[in-house]
Amino acid sequence: MPVVTFTDGHLPALLDFVESLNDWGSQGRDLGRKIFQELLEQPWLDLQTDCWVLEDQGVIRGFCLIHREPPIGRSVIQMEVAPSLAGGVHEGELLDTAVGHSRKWGAKVAHLCIPAGPASSDRAAMLEERGFTVIRSYTNMLWQGGHLPLWSTANGYQVRPYQPGDEGLLTQVQNAAFAESWGFCPNTVEQIKYRADMSNTRHQGILFLIPGQQPPNEQPVQGENPAGYCWTCLIPVPQGLRGIIGMIGVVPEFRGRGVSKSILMAGMDYLQSAGATNIGLEVDSSNTPAIRLYDSVGFEKTSELHWFELVLSRLNPGNC
């Protein structure tokens, strides 16, 4: 089963393959396929250079996509194969292709994420045989509480949704909130605008927390200076729509003021109003304060993800 470079002609079969791996439900099928196609169509991706498929007589059995992050020298490898091929020779060939091309474009480090646990043991062994090691763990959490806990916006703050033209402000806030976070690559305005307009995102579900005054020792700035934000998404599941807390961040000068819960609850409130049957999120397993916050409002751990790393260059890989 050869590894071949993706072409536009592979798209229908690739969408069929991705659908086969996801339990979107009959009503969510069209939305799920549209979201994945939009991910492929991000303008900064070059699928003819950085995407490969396993093709068996016109049927796609796996794919691999490189997400290049030159500012931090990282190559993020997104790879899925049919369950019967997981951890086997064909998935290994896909991975070897991605690693080779990552070296070619000059990446210092390659990262790949897979579910943790016995079901992924063959894939983990395949990665370790090629020199990958687990570098980070993330926890999947799910809220199924039915009714939100009582909450109110922190004193002196207000919440407002994203509006067309806010892509610059959102880029500024997101980059400030996550500048020191593991694996974070600064976003461009183009990237933020594209993702804010995708089918899994509604502008009303991207929420800024706006302070009534500047933080101490800060010079006033023109326009708004958000304390943080919550970026929510909606994805199809058999029961309808699942809300996702995609990104939630507080900019450094506003940390330690108890505002994180206001941002979280505003996002959850929106998702419930949008018809989400439950709400999920991922959190760095070492981020104890965040996990404590999510626990406090009723999120429960459902599974864990492992990020694997392969160092491609001995140069300093930045915040990776």
Going 14 to 195 to 76 to 242, the CA torsion angle's sign is: negative
**CB neighbour list of residue 306: distance below 8 Å, 6 or more residues apart:** 113, 114, 115, 116, 120, 124, 134, 136, 137, 138
Task: Give this prediction's pTM.
Answer: 0.91
Average pLDDT over residues 150-168: 92
Domains with residue ranges and CATH for the chain: 3-139+306-311 (3.40.630.30), 146-297 (3.40.630.30)
Query: In which element (H, E) is residue 39 found?
Result: helix 29-40
Q: Is the pLDDT of residue 288 over 60?
A: yes
> Contact, 312 vs 66, CB < 8 A?
no
Distance from C-alpha of 246 to C-alpha of 186, rounded to nearest angstrom: 16
pLDDT at 320: 57
Q: Is the pLDDT of residue 237 over 50?
A: yes
Average pLDDT over residues 1-28: 93
Helix axes 167-178, 189-196, angle to 10 degrees: 110
Closest to 215 (Cα-Cα) out of 182, 242, 176: 176
Query: In which element (H, E) is residue 97 found?
Result: helix 89-105
> Lowest-pLDDT range, 15-19, 224-228, 310-314?
310-314
